[in-house]
Structure formats: structure tokens, C-alpha cells
Amino acid sequence: MSDDLKTPLLDELEKGPWPSFVKDLKQMASKKPMVKDLLRQLEKSYRDKRGYWKHGGLVGIMGYGGGVIGRYTALPDEFPGVSHFHTLRVNQPSGWFYTSKALNELMDIWDAHGSGLLNVHGSTGDLVFLGTVTDELEPTFRDLTAKDWDLGGSGSDLRTPSCCVGPARCENACYDTLALTYDLTHKYQDELHRPMFNYKYKIKMSGCPNDCTAAIARSDMGIIGIWKDDIQVDQAAFAEYVDSGMDIQGSVVDKCPTGCISVEGKEIKIDNSNCVKCMHCINTLPKALRVGKERGAAVTIGAKAPIVEGALFGSVMIPFMKMDNFEDMHDLIERIWEFWDEHGKNRERIGECVERIGLATFIEGIGLDPVPQMVKQPRDNPYIFYEEYYEEES
């Protein structure tokens, strides 16, 4: 490292047992001068306790409205190497499965056109290229598409659909998350690349209620695998857990949120009618318990981080739908977009829109019948009148 790079505050982050991004940045700084200025600016930010990035703007790829996030330093005279430091989101493969060859291709492209710094992966799911100049955007995109890669979403568009590893690696997967992600990504290319919504729309797919993509908390539309019938039980395998001395009562029975598990001798009994699919027993006793056989997905709507309004969790809109084909899902997505387009405000996420106009109006607007699973809490408004009531009265 050259002497002109003095970063005493950042150096502190290299101490301790955990890997540090500072170490990575310093390694890259020896090859890429722009990373030196990145470190210098970061050091100054730590010292001054403020950020010096300007975000957003007009940069992008011809014809695309998403995939590039413009970023500039507020101090270009002091840090000319990061006067432009744009980010590109590269659409990741479903389930984040790469070959070494594919990763090498991506690294070669980014070494040639950018800082060489990556974020694998961003919270959107994309593989993120961190830092390049405006003139290198089109050449980077050209090289990416020549190798069959594409940019992901950003701005007021469909964000890159993202999923867990699904049935490729996980026995709990209740539907093929990889196939649905691939299908939605291809079907909604226009929505992904050409911002046409009120604000961002994220779809995340998890194969089971463990929800490894955190769809319930981080996606406007979560599609979470679930089963409808009983948990599959292998009593012989359960007996082996008992014989091994495992604390079944403390580790499983007492932790069931609805108290629907009991044990008699070496036999486990589950009251499936009261099971809320929390997955705890299945995760704890994977050899004895498995998800049911009648599998599909639940759809949640409205989760988001706190930006314009506060954070929201997703609410169940559809407690169970078969996932044999994806046409019903396309139909649902398009009905939601149509409604949001009609009723949503500028920079209003779908969850905020539903909160503002009311769940009843929303489900009527998208053609869903109310079901008990939609109820989040007991109602606090006593002035609810039903059309049937008026009909009877008249």
C-alpha cells in the first residue's frame, strides 16, 4: 500500500476476528486507482460523520430505465477517482447458482470496465458491480449481454425476482421456486427494465415457511411455499431421536407456538388442524418430520422497509394456491398491478396503497374473496355494515 493512503479509522475495522471489507478494498486499491479515492473518501466520511455520495440521476443503458444506479462524489476535486462511481445490478441466476466459468466471465468484464469491486449479493438479490464511470456503462452492458447476462431492476420498476435454492438443494421446498423466478423474469422483461409503476415492486419466492429470502418482510409480493395436508411423520426416526437422549419436550413440544404437539412414549402426535406451519418441529427433527404432500404456495402482499412510510410486514392474500402452472400467478400479478396503477399514488408501495384505501377495497378490486387468513387482528371499528344486512332490512 502506498504511503499516501492514510486511513487510521478504517484500519480499526481490520482488527478483530471477522473478515473486513477494508482489507478487500486495500487489495483492490493496488490495482485500481479509483478504489484509493474510495478509501480516502470513506475515511473522510468516518472522520466527519457524514456521507459524501450523491445518488440517482440520468445514467443508464440505452432503452433501460433500471439496472444502473448513478452515484457521484460530492467532492470531485478532492476525490477525482470517484467523481463517477455508478453501480450496476446484474440479474442473478435463480437461486444464486453459478458455475466457476460464469463467475470468471463476470470478473473479467468488471476488471476491464469497473472498479473490480462486487457485492455478492445485494439485498435485492442481484449481483452488484460497484463503481464505474459513465463512459464504461454501455461497454460493460455490451460485454455482459454478449455472455447472456442482463441487468436487473432498479427505480420504479419490477425489481429482479429473487428466490431461495428451492428444490435444487432443499427437501422442504413446496414448489419450484427456481422455475417460477425464471418464468417471471422472462415474462415481465418490460416491467423489469422500463419503470412504469408508482414505485418499486419486489417479488420474492421462498420454497417453504422458513422463508430464506425473507419474502414476508422484504417483498411487495411474497410467494411462500406451504402445504395443506398433514406433516409427514416417520415414527421410527422419531424414536431414534428419543433414544439419542434429545430433549424433545424442551426443544420441540414446548416451543410449538400453538401447542399442537404431544409425545406418548416414543411416538409423536401432531394436531395438524392447529398447526400454523412455523417449521420449528420440522427443522429440529428433520429425519422424523417432513412437510406435507399437498403442496403449493401462500401469497403475501405489502412488505416493505421504512422509506416513505414505516416498515410493513406482508399480509396473507391467498393462503394456498397450487403451483402446477404459473398462469394463475401471472393473472394475479397483473390484476394487482392494474389496481395499483389505477389507485396508487406517486412513490406509494402496494402495501401503503392497501393501508390507505383499505383491505376490503383492495381485495374487491383484484377479485379476491375474503378469507379468515387475511385477518391480521380483531377489528377495532364497530361500525361495519354488510350488504346482506341492508338486503334483509329492505
Residues at the contact surface with another protein, assessed by CB under 8 A: 54, 56-58, 60, 62-66, 69-70, 72, 84, 134, 154-157, 190, 194-199, 341, 346-347
70: nearest Cα among 54, 94, 51 = 54
Closest approach of Cβ 201 to another protein, in Å? Answer: 12
Q: In this complex, which beta carbon is closest to another protein, that of residue 342 or of residue 380?
A: 342
Q: In this complex, which beta carbon is closest to another protein, that of residue 66 or of residue 302?
A: 66
Closest approach of Cβ 125 to another protein, in Å? Answer: 19
Cα separation, 152 vs 138, in Å, equals 15
Q: What is the 3-state secondary structure (H, E, C) of 220-236?
A: CEEEEEEECCCCEECHH
Grid coordinates representing 215 are 419474502
Cα separation, 308 vs 352, in Å, equals 9
Cα separation, 361 vs 354, in Å, equals 8
Grid coordinates representing 25 are 478494498
| H runs (alpha helix) in 264-315 | 280-284
Closest approach of Cβ 69 to another protein, in Å? Answer: 7
Look-up: residue for cell 466527519? 48
Q: In this complex, which beta carbon is closest to another protein, that of residue 297 or of residue 353?
A: 353
The answer to whether residues 271 and 279 touch, using CB atoms and an 8 Å cutoff, is: no
Closest approach of Cβ 48 to another protein, in Å? Answer: 20
Closest approach of Cβ 345 to another protein, in Å? Answer: 10
**DSSP three-state, residue 58:** coil
Sequence-ordered list of residues with C-beta below 8 angstroms from that of 38, at least 6 positions apart, any chain: 25, 29, 79, 81, 82, 85, 115, 117, 131
Q: In this complex, which beta carbon is closest to another protein, that of residue 196 or of residue 375?
A: 196
Closest approach of Cβ 365 to another protein, in Å? Answer: 16
DSSP assignment letter at 334: H
Q: In this complex, which beta carbon is closest to another protein, that of residue 354 or of residue 374?
A: 354
Closest approach of Cβ 117 to another protein, in Å? Answer: 21
Q: In this complex, which beta carbon is closest to another protein, that of residue 157 or of residue 183?
A: 157
Q: In this complex, which beta carbon is closest to another protein, that of residue 244 or of residue 346?
A: 346
Grid coordinates representing 192 are 423489469
Q: In this complex, which beta carbon is closest to another protein, that of residue 43 or of residue 348?
A: 348
Q: Are strands 162-163 and 203-206 parallel, antiparallel or unpaired?
A: parallel
Cα separation, 222 vs 297, in Å, equals 9
233: nearest Cα among 172, 287, 171, 175 = 287
Grid coordinates representing 44 are 473522510
Q: In this complex, which beta carbon is closest to another protein, that of residue 129 or of residue 199?
A: 199
331: nearest Cα among 353, 299, 304, 374 = 299
Cα separation, 373 vs 278, in Å, equals 15
Closest approach of Cβ 198 to another protein, in Å? Answer: 6
Closest approach of Cβ 65 to another protein, in Å? Answer: 3
Q: In this complex, which beta carbon is closest to another protein, that of residue 40 or of residue 71?
A: 71
Q: What is the residue type of 387?
A: E
Look-up: residue for cell 422419531? 238
Q: Are strands 71-73 and 53-55 parallel, antiparallel or unpaired?
A: antiparallel
Closest approach of Cβ 381 to another protein, in Å? Answer: 31
